[in-house]
Structure formats: C-alpha cells, structure tokens
Amino acid sequence: MVGLATVFGAGGGTSSYEEIENTDLVILWGSNARETHPIFFHHVLRGVRNGARLYAVDPRRTTSAEWADVWLGIDVGSDIALANTMAREIVHAGLHNTTFIERATSGFEGYAASVEPWTLREGERVTGVPAEVIREFAHAYARADRAILCWTLGITEHHNATDNVLALINLGLLCGHVGRYGSGLNPLRGQNNVQGGGDMGAIPNKLPGFQDIEKDHDARRRFEQAWECTIPPKYGWHVSAMLDAMERGDITALYCVGENPAQSEADSHRAQRLLGGLDCLIVQDIMLTKTGEMADVVLPATAAWAESEGTVTNSERRVQRVRKALEPPGDSRDDIWIIAQLAKRLGRDWGEVTPREAWDELRTLSPMHRGMSYERLEALGGIRWPCTDEDDPGATFLHGRLWEEDPHERGPAAPFSAVAFEPPVDELTAEYPIRLTTGRRLDSYNTGVQSGQYVSPLRRRPESLLLSPEDGSRLALTEGELVRVTSRRGSVDAPVTFERSLRPGLAFMNLHFQDLVPTNVLTIDATDPKSGTAEFKATAIRIEKIEARDAAAAGGGGE
C-alpha cells in the first residue's frame, strides 16, 4: 500500500477482475493465489483459458506456479535483484515504453543508472534463476500489449517490503503497464475487506478515503467540523511500531479489534511479553483468541460476513453490501454498537448508529465514495472507487490519467524509485543454514482463529515443517518424524513432511496451528520502516533430530 500510495497517490490495486480475464500476461509475484486468494485465482484461470501467459515468481513451486507457463524459483528475498535485472535487460533491449516514460514518469535516468550493475549473469547469481529464463521473462513482460502484475505477502513480508513493491512498480512504469485496460499493478488482499479497512482510514497516516492526516489540511478540517473535535495532524503507529512503543513504555493500554497479535506477530515470545506488560488490554473479536485470553476486557463481536449489516471492499476496490443472515449468538454485539457504547461511556453519545448512517457520513467526507448510495450499491452489484457522484459508474482501473495528452489532466508524474537489493536480515550461517519461509494454505487462515476449529480433508498433518526430499535424506529424517526447528530467537518442535515444491536449503511452515506449532516463535521482527511489516518470509533456521525421550516429552509444543 505504502509503495503504491507513494508513486500514484492512492493505495489500491489498479485493475479490476474482468481485466485479469482479458489481459495477455499475468505475473503472480510472491503470491500463491490459488491457495490464498482462490476467488481471484478463478479470474486468473479464466484469463489463462482466454490465452494469457502466466508467470509465477516464488521460491516455492506452489500450486499456483503449477499452472504457470514459467515458474521462476528465486531465492528468498532476491525479488529486487530479479526486478532490477529485468529492468536492465528491458532497457538494453530497447523494450521500455519511451512515450509513457517521458510523459508520465520522473526519475528514469537515475533509475536506469541504478539498475545498470544488474546484468543477467549477476541476476542469475543472486536469484538462482538461469539468466536465459530471466531474459525471456523480461522480454515477455515488456512486449506484452497488456500485462498485469500481482503480488502478495511474498513481496511485503520482508524487512524491505516497500522497496520490494517499488521495484515492481518500477517495472510497470518502465513498460507502461499501468493505467490502461488490462495493464495494472495489483497487491492482492487476503480478506474480503482488507481494502475496506484501509479505505476507511484504519491505517496510521490516512483519514477515510486515503486523505493524508498531516498534509491534507482541508480534509482534516472537514473531518474536524463533522466530528466536532480536533484531529492531531500527526501520523499514528502501525502494529510493529506499537510494540516498540510498548517496549519503551509509551503505550500502556491497547484496544485491539479483530487482531491476534499474540500469535500473528513475528517473534511471538516478545509480542506476548509486551502484551502481558500492558496496564490495560481490551480485545474485541468473534473468537476468544490467544490475545483475548490475555485481555483485561473481552468484547464479543458479531461475524461481519453473516451477523452484521454494512459494506465490504474487495481487492478490485469494489464496495459491496453485506446483509445480516443470522442473529448473533449469546452476548455478542455488532462492532458499531460496541464502539458507540464505548464512546458513550467516554462522554460522546452518538445515539443508535446504524451502518447506513455511518456510511452516509463517510460519503460526505470521502470524495471517492461520494457517489455510492446504498441504493446504487444494491442496484449495480457494488461499485469500484473512485465514484465521485451519483452518475459516476465507478472506475474499472486506476491512474488512467497518466495516459492523458493534456499535462494538466495527467497530473503529477509517477516517480521511478532506485531501490537497492538487500539480502534478508536473518543471515544464513553454518549454525543456521536453512532458509525458512512461511505462508498460508487453502483450507486455513492466518493464526487459525477462524479456520482451526473445523476439520478439512486437505490437512494431512495439522502443522509440519515442509522440507525438500534431498534435505530430508541428508538429515536422515523420515516423514512424520518430529524435529526441533531452531532460529536465533527460539525453537519449536514439528513433524516433517517432504515436498517436491521445495529445493534443498529451503523449508516452509504455516502459522495456522499456533497451539500445536507456534511458528512465529522462530520468525524475526525485523520490520520495514515504511510499512511496518515484519520479515515473516525469511528466517534462518537449523533442523535437528529429536531423541525419542525428548519427543515424548515435547509433544510438539514450543519452548
């Protein structure tokens, strides 16, 4: 988000789903969309059936990569190396879009100079992908009439997440693959409403509608008038910064809504220690999470997708109505009701706020939502923002302005960003020789709060350490055997499963079954200073056999 907002002024995927079906080339970069974004992947498959080429960039040959024309199995964390190598190749082959670069971008010269050291040979050395394959990939992307580049956590869960995203955006700018039908840059969203959360201002630096808290004084004043209060013109903290603030003692109370930081944060030993040290912890969730168990007050909430009214916004920026299907069980209450009651006890009585009233207020304050009345959302089956008035059909794709002839309509240029490659923080050494990366799988979700409670035929073992068969035999392991996995921060015990999708030196774990294997005990909380995302994707580990008596005692738990 930060990367897109920096370059284009708005943080959101630029393409709509229908464009994925009608493009010529799709790149899934650091995204196992088939398992983690299955709805989106249906659109990708339609595109493939319509003749699009699919390229997958991922250290693992995931089930998404199995559908690809070409899978590029880069080494973990070498994304910038690959992107910069491609950029150099595209420029040297004269395949960059000079018209678009001159008209709509800035900083090309500096960028071109910055990628100059990235010869194909150097790219191969750092990424592990054969030079010829990188070359072919670069040419295919540059030569495609339409191309859509998608990424997910494989790009953003790194200590240099924003640089990773910028490196990909650079490629889009270089080839003019943004702002046109069928060409775009798209971070995929992991939940039905992540986009909506950001749109509504649940990010530290923006008011609803991506209006900057510090810089957009007009917007801030409108909110102040509407809300009859003063809004400090100061960016807030993202979760990792909050943890640091707890460490310093700057945060002593936390109100946590629909989040499970005790398990979802990297280096969970530290996160749990900090949460435990708070004066006051309030948790509002639909399940009693690990964080909830630590809380002073737990506020049971309703499930947003079945027990509440309102709207959600998906990856293609489409705002859709959600309707209540079930009466919520027990004492659980709608999030809006809880927040309003809390406000009342804190001295501001908003009365009974309905979801529609909240939405209509948003429409008066966020220009990009202004045209989206409930009636229109229902009649049109949802509308993609921006939608500025009630005659506006919404936007199929974003940033079409960049292609305007008229410099005034074209608006500010999109800057290239020279980004340097940095290897993952958690270095591989003789002591920690194996690279562990983490991710989700189809039938489970994040820390398992919502998905861990039912059985799935797809789960062979609830949680295991996935290893290449080569490493398995090198370490003399048998499938299902319990091993001790140790990083610089902690150890967990997990059974091993061999997977062809991994090459020697690369291991994989989920984080869905924290009670069985608390994977995040291992991960590093080296965070990206701009986006605040931790480097979940690159941990250095070693794997040791467990003697039989240890195994019996350990039973798969963490230390």
Partner 1 sequence: MEAAPTADERRAVDEVLGPPDSGWHGGDWRPELDGHVAFGGRETSERRHLLLPALHAAQSRSGWISQGAMNYVCQRLSVPPAEAYGVATFYAMFSTEPRAPRVAHVCDDIACRTNGALELCAQLERSIGPAGTPSAEGTFTWMRSPCLGLCDRAPAVLFQAAGEEPYDWALAPTGAEQVRDALGGEPWSRNGHALSGVAHRDGLRLLRRIGVVDPISLDDYRAHGGYEALRRAFDLGPSGVIREVKDSKLLGRGGAAFPTGVKWEAVATQPVRPHFFVCNADESEPGTFKDRIVMEEDPFSVIEALTIAGYATGSEKGFVYIRGEYPLALRRLQHAIDQARVRGFLGEDVMGEGFTFDVEIRRGAGAYIAGEETALFNSIEGRRAEPRNKPPFPVTHGLFGKPTGINNVETLINVLEIIRIGGPAFAEIGTADSTGTRLFCLSGSVQRPGLYEVPFGTTLRQLLDMAGGVPEGRELKAILLGGAAGAFVTPDELDMPLSFEGARRLGVTLGSGVVMVFDDTVNLADVVLRIASFFRDESCGQCVPCRVGTARQEEVLRRLGSGRELGSREQELALIDDIAQVMRDASICGLGQTAANAVQSAVQRLRIFDGASGNGNGA
* Interface residue list for partner 1 (CB under 8 A): 48, 51, 53-54, 61, 65-74, 127-130, 133, 468, 470, 498, 503-504
Residue with smaller CB distance to partner 1, 129 or 150: 129
The half-sphere exposure of 348 on its side-chain side, counting CA atoms within 13 A, is 9
Helices (H), 158-216: 161-175, 194-199
Place of tokens 């392991």: 477
Helices (H), 446-546: 469-474
Q: Is 45 left (phi over 0), alpha (psi -120 to 50) or beta?
A: alpha
d(C-alpha 459, C-alpha 443), whole Å: 8
Nearby residues of 116 by Cβ (< 8 Å), 6 or more positions away: 88
Least distance to partner 1, CB of residue 505, Å:
9
Least distance to partner 1, CB of residue 58, Å:
11
For the chain, what is the radius of gyration of the CA atoms?
Answer: 24
Least distance to partner 1, CB of residue 127, Å:
8
Can you give 73-104 as a three-state secondary structure string? CCCCCCHHHHHHHHHHHHHHCCCCCHHHHHHH
Least distance to partner 1, CB of residue 67, Å:
7
Residue with smaller CB distance to partner 1, 28 or 174: 28
Residue with smaller CB distance to partner 1, 126 or 377: 126
Least distance to partner 1, CB of residue 295, Å:
45
According to DSSP, the β-strands at 434-438 and 539-545 are antiparallel
Return the structure tokens found at 508: 């994989």
Residue with smaller CB distance to partner 1, 61 or 318: 61
Residue with smaller CB distance to partner 1, 125 or 273: 125
Residue with smaller CB distance to partner 1, 138 or 387: 138
DSSP 520: G
Least distance to partner 1, CB of residue 454, Å:
23
Residue with smaller CB distance to partner 1, 127 or 211: 127
- Whole-number Cα distances in Å, 223 to 9, 116, 212, 389, 449: 20, 47, 12, 19, 35
Nearby residues of 195 by Cβ (< 8 Å), 6 or more positions away: 12, 13, 189, 313, 314, 315, 317
Least distance to partner 1, CB of residue 244, Å:
37
Nearby residues of 216 by Cβ (< 8 Å), 6 or more positions away: 207
Least distance to partner 1, CB of residue 504, Å:
6
Q: What is the full DSSP assignment across 439-452?
A: ---TT--TTSTTTT
Residue with smaller CB distance to partner 1, 12 or 59: 59
Place of tokens 């080339």: 25
- Assess whether the previous peptide bond of 386 is cis (omega < 30° from 0): yes
CA dihedral 275, 281, 284, 288 (to 10 degrees): 60
DSSP 408: H
The half-sphere exposure of 536 on its side-chain side, counting CA atoms within 13 A, is 25
Least distance to partner 1, CB of residue 4, Å:
28
Residue with smaller CB distance to partner 1, 127 or 311: 127
Residue with smaller CB distance to partner 1, 437 or 533: 437
Q: Which H/E stretch holds residue 184?
A: strand 184-187
Nearby residues of 330 by Cβ (< 8 Å), 6 or more positions away: 300
Residue with smaller CB distance to partner 1, 51 or 555: 51
Residue with smaller CB distance to partner 1, 150 or 246: 150
Return the structure tokens found at 334: 């709608």
Classified as helix, coil or strand, 486 is strand
